[in-house]
Structure 1
């Protein structure tokens, strides 16, 4: 199963981008023996439409166009469900075992995600009810993909209860 982070907007060069790259690299190495490839990052342009509703609609079309057939869509949204890292890793394992082609973690733009993306999502996931800066969410998403590979492989990086 291919892992992908689909994000609205470009992340500038700097320490945040370097940290994302570090976690992506670790997840790629740890995921290979588990039947996981990637993660890849797909950066989509933010909409220039005038209204927030029109921006969300245009961004939703771009997001949904990136999804491979038979893929899992996980929409990151503060109104979503909270999962432990173990629970998230378990979901990834289940989807992989169901022969889903890809897992796409979606990070919306400044106006959030359109309802069509939330409705299509296999899981609407919240890292917190708080609103986080886009760069931090991308770091958290990459780190959680890496953490999931360590949990699934029994690596000591994750030391949960």
Structure 2
């Protein structure tokens, strides 16, 4: 199952980019034997600053047809890391070819796109900077692959 990280904004060089690159590499290495991956990033830019609606349109175009649409939003479902791993496995085992994780811009995800989500997910009630959410998601994807592989990274 291919994994897509669809996000508003371009992440340039810096600590966040380095962390994401590391976790993406780890995920791809651990996930491929499990039928997970590759992880592909899709960055969209709202160059005209036309608001959340325009960002939603750009994000929707980045999501592959037929993909499970997961929105990262503080109103979404809270999962433990093992629950997240199990959910990924259910989608994969259910024959889904793609899962797309959508991260909005500074103002979040437009309600029109949130309404289309198959699975709204949250990293907690706090609002996180969208660039950090990418890092957190990349780490959790790697952790999920490690849990599914029986690896030692996750110690619960």
Answer yes or no: is 1:101 the counterpart of 2:97: yes
Q: How many residue pairs align between the two structures?
A: 156
Give the Cα–Cα distance (whole angstroms) in 1 for the partners of residues 45 and 154 of structure 2. Answer: 34
Aligned to 2:143: 147
Kept in 1: contact 2:6–2:102 (CA 8 A): yes
1:68 equivalenced with 2:30 (yes/no): no
- 2:38 aligned with 1:42: no
Task: Give me the whole-angstrom Cα distance separating, in 2, the residues matched to 1:12 and 1:155.
Answer: 31
- SS at the partner of 1:37? coil
**Does structure 1 retain, via aligned residues, the 8 Å contact 2:4–2:63?**
no
| Distance in 1 of aligned mates of 2:120 and 2:37 | 22
TM-score calculated relative to the size of structure 2: 0.95
| Cα distance, 1:135 vs structure 2 | 2.0
Distance apart, 1:49 and its partner CA: 3.8
Pairwise CA RMSD of aligned residues? Answer: 1.2
Match of 1:58 among 54, 58, 74: 54
**Alpha-carbon deviations, 1:20-51, whole Å to 9, x = none?**
1000000000110111121111110035345x
1:118 alignment partner, one of 98, 107, 114? 114
Please say if residues 47 and 59 of structure 1, whose CA atoms lie closer than 8 Å, have aligned partners that are also in contact: no
Q: Indicate conservation of the 8 Å contact 2:106/2:129, yes or no.
A: no
**Which residue in 1 is equivalent to 2:77?**
81
| Cα deviation digits, residues 91-145 of structure 1 (max 9, x gap) | 1100011111111111101111011221111111110111111221111010010
- Runs (4+) of structure 1 exceeding 2 A deviation are 46-50
Aligned to 1:27: 27
For normalisation by structure 1, the TM-score amounts to: 0.92
- Extract unaligned runs of 5+ from structure 2: none
Hey, what's the Cα distance between the residues in 1 that align with 2:16 and 2:6? 16
Q: Please give the alpha-carbon distance, in whole angstroms, between the structure 1 residues aligned to 2:145 and 2:65.
A: 23
